[in-house]
Structures are given as C-alpha cells and as structure tokens.
Structure 1
Amino acid sequence: MSDATEATPRRRRGRPRAGTRSGASGKAAIIRAATDEFAERGYEAASLRAIARRAGVDSALVHHYFEDKADLFTATLEAPLRPDRVITVILAGPRDEVGTSIVRYLLEQLDDKKAQARIVAILRTAVGSGPGSRMLKEFLVREVFQRLAAASGSDDADLRANLAASQLVGLMLTRFVLRLEPIASTPTEELVRRIGPVVQWHLFGAGQSLRTLDAEAPLSE
C-alpha cells in the first residue's frame, strides 16, 4: 500500500493557559495520567477532562498535544500503527479493495522489526485478562470494529466485522507471535492474495465468491 494510505494528522487544537505545565514535562505528565486512567476506567469510560485533572494540567494542553482520545490512547501504547486512522482512509477508497488493502497495510507496516516487536507486545496484552486487555478491546471495538460494521451496512454487521477482525488478528498472531510456518515466511503478496478476499467476503459478502477466487488462482506449491 502506498504512503497515501496513512491519514495525515490534523493540526493540534488548543493552547495551554498561562501557568500550566508545557513542553516535554507537560506532555509526559499527560501520557502518564492517561496510562493510569485508561488502566483504571477502560477506554470507553476514560475522558480527556479526567486525564487532564489527573495530570494537573488544563484540558487545553491535552488538546494541544493530542488530537482526540484515540490519539492519546495510542500514544500511551507507543503503538506502531494507527488502525483507526487507516480504516477511515481505506473505507473511503474503492469498496471492492477494502479487504486486500487492510491485509496489505498490516503486513507491510509490520515488516519493520521495531514495529513488529511492539505489536507483538500489544497483542500479548490484548489476549490476556488484565486491565490492559479490557482497554485494548474497547479501543478496537469503538474505533475499528464499529466502523467496519457500519461500512457493511447489513443486518449482521457486527458479526461481519468481528469475523473480519478474527482473520486479521489471527494472521498477526500466527505470523508475528507464534511465528507459525509457513505463514511466518510466506511473501506478503501471497498472504494478501489469500486472506484479503476472505476479509472482503466477511465484510460485504458480495462480488466474487471464495470458490471463484480459488478457481482463478491455483495455490502455490
């Protein structure tokens, strides 16, 4: 996927009031407070106002550094990807390329070893049972899965979005966490060719069937 897939962050809003902490110390205090707030209250219940109070700064300073709650949350995770932003861009593109675009983006971004190591740590947290797991699941449901569900526009939209997500999470777990062969060493485009249409079918259930796709492209030896 080209660099155009990455959404361009909007200009930061707000200015800190006189007397509040600013610069690196203010930003660091906000991130520390957000980490605690998300861990205690989860992604849904946490608010930027509460985080500002916990950090001892004016809420304008939070908006100065972070675009919204999703932006601040991913900063606390040091996440190498912004799935909420990418989903928005992909869904604005050709509808029949959504599945392959999502799979290609994930695999290409995670070719970077540093990004890969960080996403492995995040995935391990996500499949756990602690507060980190709760807030990650809430973030993904609110910022990613619900958008995918809305895009499908069907009566079983939530199920479709979750089935698509199961393919994506399963791919990341087997390729980057378990390093299951031959998935771990299969070329990116081969995985895109095989998994992209499955994600597409789960989301929209239209266009080419999986049987048709199999007939068009024989499996590699």
Structure 2
Amino acid sequence: MPISVALSTFGGINGYLFTSSRLCFSGAREGHLPSLLAMIHFKNCTPIPALLVCCTATLFILCVGETHNLINYVSFINYLSYGVTITGLLYYRKRKPNIYRPIKVNLLVPVSYLLFWALLLGFSLYSEPVVCGVGLVIMLTGVPVYFLGVYWKEKPKCIYDFIACATSVGQKLCYVVFPQIDPTEIDDPSEWTDHSSGRSSFFANS
C-alpha cells in the first residue's frame, strides 16, 4: 500500500505541473500578473516564463526546510477556492444561461459538490481554526498586491520602463511571444451565443 500511494503521487505532481503554470499564464492574460507570464514559446507553445516562476517558487519552498504547516495552510486555500469556483458556476448558470458552454452538466452535480464542500469546510474550521485562520490571512495578503499591481493605473514611468525592459529581456532569453487570441474571448458573449440552439454563432456561421 505505501508503494501504491507513493506511485500515485507521480500523477498528482504531473497534474500540478500543468495546472500551476497555467494559473500564472491565465492570470497574466487577464492583466493580474506581468505580461511576460502570458507568453508562450514561439515553436513549442509552452508557457516557459510561467513554468520558470513556478519552478523558482518550488525551489525556494524546498530550501526553507519544514513545510508541513505551509502545506496545511495552502490546502485550506485551495479547498476554499474550489467552493468559490463552484459558486461562480452556479451564479453564471442562473444569470447567463445561454452562454455557449463546451461542457455542461446537470445542476445536481455542482449543487451536491457544494453541499459536501460546505460540510467538510465546517469540520475543518471546527477542528483546526488556527490553520484555517492563518491560511485565510495568507490569501488576504494578495489584496494589497492586487491594488498596487492591478488597480493602481497611474504608476510612475520608471516602473513601466522597468517592466518593459524585463519583458524584452525575458522574451529574448525564452524565445516567447504572445499567443493568438480566440475571437470568442474578446467579443461580448451576447454576440457569439445562439439563443435558439445554445451553440456559438461564431462557429455556426463559419
């Protein structure tokens, strides 16, 4: 059994290797992270800058030493984000039911998941309130970073010059460029949603 558990971690590591870098990549595309992280290799289409950032953060954590408490804190943050994501799914299913969705499941699935999530979250808060509280504080540290990096538009010119220089150097070192944008990602959803069939009118007319 221990060997089976150890082998199963390879699948988890493989999944995290893909998802963690794509989170940085998607955040950069939305303007929440430096634009360099939204670039991909011009030939292999790999988000190299995002992968390097995740690799650097991982090496730093490994050098710290004891990471048991940090894993507990981050686990609570991840679990909290899952529930918020499902809540957002239910919100948009109600507010915008006709948006084109490549994958659409019965509402019973997310509702059932949300109920179990709330139950387990309650047990976590009751059994380990300190760990949950510290994890929440760690998550809230991103609020001032958001206001300084994203919300604050009128930054000094020297900051923009530094970002432009770092982006140029990163592009030359990693051979990365901005990816092509899907038209459905920039158009208003009402313009590419076929209300009669629920399919994208963009694909229907092509």
Question: So what's the TM-score if we normalise by structure 1?
Answer: 0.23
Question: Which structure would you say has the larger RCO, counting Cα contacts within 8 Å and 6 or more residues apart?
Answer: 2
**Greater Rg over alpha carbons, structure:** 2
Question: So what's the TM-score if we normalise by structure 2?
Answer: 0.24
